[in-house]
């Protein structure tokens, strides 16, 4: 179950990459910018701001009715018949989540092979959490490695070590987020302990696989963790890059379209200067490869 395949990505590893976004994630980060990735099953996004109340979709199913002369979408009655999505002239509806085989996914991503090779890029498995579907990841990876395609795994790390072991033979780089070192902070931000995550990062580092660490910096949520994260990374031997990622609220509209409240509506957006200062603080802890992004 995936929700997107995006070519020409440049922030998910080295070079030009095609990123496969898997559905399902064990974390519930309050700033998640892909909320449609959290649940494993298919979902419907309905953008009420695009709706022109043309009534083309009403009468097709029980989910779309007329109330007080306007269109009303009843999410709980939607059955994924896709009739309203197909007929809507304003593109108000979008079903997210598609079941695809490993062969189908590999065939699609390999269409951009020439761009990957020319840029030193490859394919990235992201999400959600790709290693929640590790068997599918392995099957796709076999197709990619038969073509000698570089593979990066963008993982939250909250997966069994056995899942890391399964994908390890095919992986060129692991991309790990570290949201917090303090477990209480991590629990508050994501709803999940960070013990397994930190153990998996240490394990991959011990095995000598290149790692990129990303620190998603969210004011008032995990903004006090920069130095703790820096000192943790400093003990690792195979981290090639550390990125400080600025919080943004671009996903707020997605939450609305999914019928969910946005968890942190009042968090300020950090300035470019603030992110640069955070990166400098981490550099002052002894890290040389910190990039403000």
Find out if CATH 3.40.50.300 is the number for domain 2-40+97-292.
Answer: no
The span from the CA of 269 to the CA of 218, in Å, is 8
Task: Give the 3-state secondary structure percentages of the chain, helix then strand then coil, rounded to 5.
Answer: 35, 20, 45
pLDDT tier, 13 (very low <50, low <70, confident <90, very high otherwise): confident
Give the CATH architecture of domain 43-96: 2-Layer Sandwich (3.30)
Q: Is the pLDDT of residue 11 over 90?
A: no
- Interatomic CA distance for residues 223 and 216, integer angstroms: 9
Label residue 81 by pLDDT band (50, 70, 90).
confident
What pLDDT does 29 receive? 97
Dist CA 175 CA 245 (whole Å): 13
Q: Where in the chain is the domain with CATH 3.20.20.70?
A: 2-40+97-292
For residues 77 and 61, is the Cβ–Cβ distance under 8 A?
Answer: yes
Residues of the chain with CATH 3.30.70.20: 43-96
- DSSP at 258: H
Report the percent of the chain where pLDDT is more than 90.
94
- Cα separation of 42 and 36, whole Å? 9
pLDDT tens for each residue of 184-236: 999 999 999 999 999 999 999 999 999 999 999 999 999 999 999 999 999 99
Q: Name the pTM for this structure.
A: 0.92
Tell me what pLDDT residue 10 has. Answer: 83
Q: pLDDT for 43-68, tens place per residue?
A: 999 999 999 999 999 988 899 999 99
Which residues lie closer than 8 Å to 273 by C-beta, 6 or more apart? none
Residue 258 has pLDDT above 90, yes or no: yes
CB burial class (10 A; 0-12, 13-18, 19+) of residue 100?
middle
Whole-number pLDDT of residue 286: 94
In angstroms, how far is CA 154 from the centroid of its own chain? 8
What pLDDT shows up at residue 89? Answer: 95
SS3 track for 157-224 = CCCCHHHHHHHHHHCCEEEEECCCCCHHHHHHHHCCCCHHHHHHHHHHHHCCCCEEEEEEECCCCCCC
């Amino acid at each position: 179950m995936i929700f997107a395949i995006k070519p020409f990505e440049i922030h998910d590893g080295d070079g030009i990459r095609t990123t496969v976004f898997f559905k399902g994630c064990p974390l519930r980060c309050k700033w998640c910018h892909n909320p449609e990735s959290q649940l494993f099953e298919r979902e419907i996004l309905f953008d009420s701001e695009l709706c022109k109340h043309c009534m083309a979709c009403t009468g097709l199913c029980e989910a779309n009715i007329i109330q007080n002369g306007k269109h009303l979408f009843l999410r709980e009655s939607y059955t994924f018949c896709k009739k309203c999505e197909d007929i809507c002239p304003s593109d108000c509806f979008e079903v997210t989540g598609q079941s695809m085989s490993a062969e189908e996914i590999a065939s699609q991503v390999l269409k951009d092979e020439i761009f990957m090779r020319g840029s030193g890029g490859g394919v990235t498995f992201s999400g959600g959490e790709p290693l929640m579907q590790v068997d599918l990841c392995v099957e796709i990876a076999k197709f990619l490695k038969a073509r000698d395609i570089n593979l990066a795994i963008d993982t939250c790390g909250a997966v069994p070590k056995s899942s890391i072991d399964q994908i390890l033979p095919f992986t060129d780089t692991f991309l790990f987020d570290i949201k917090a070192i303090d477990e209480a902070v991590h629990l508050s931000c994501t709803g999940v302990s960070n013990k397994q995550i930190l153990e998996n990062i240490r394990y991959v580092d011990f095995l000598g696989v290149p790692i990129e660490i990303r620190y998603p910096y969210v004011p008032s949520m995990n903004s006090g963790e920069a130095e703790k994260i820096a000192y943790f990374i400093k003990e690792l031997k195979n981290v090639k890059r550390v990125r400080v990622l600025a919080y943004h609220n671009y996903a707020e509209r997605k939450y609305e379209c999914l019928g969910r409240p946005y968890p942190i509506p009042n968090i300020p957006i950090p300035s470019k200067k603030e992110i640069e200062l955070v990166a400098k603080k981490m550099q002052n802890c002894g890290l040389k490869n910190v990039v403000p992004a």
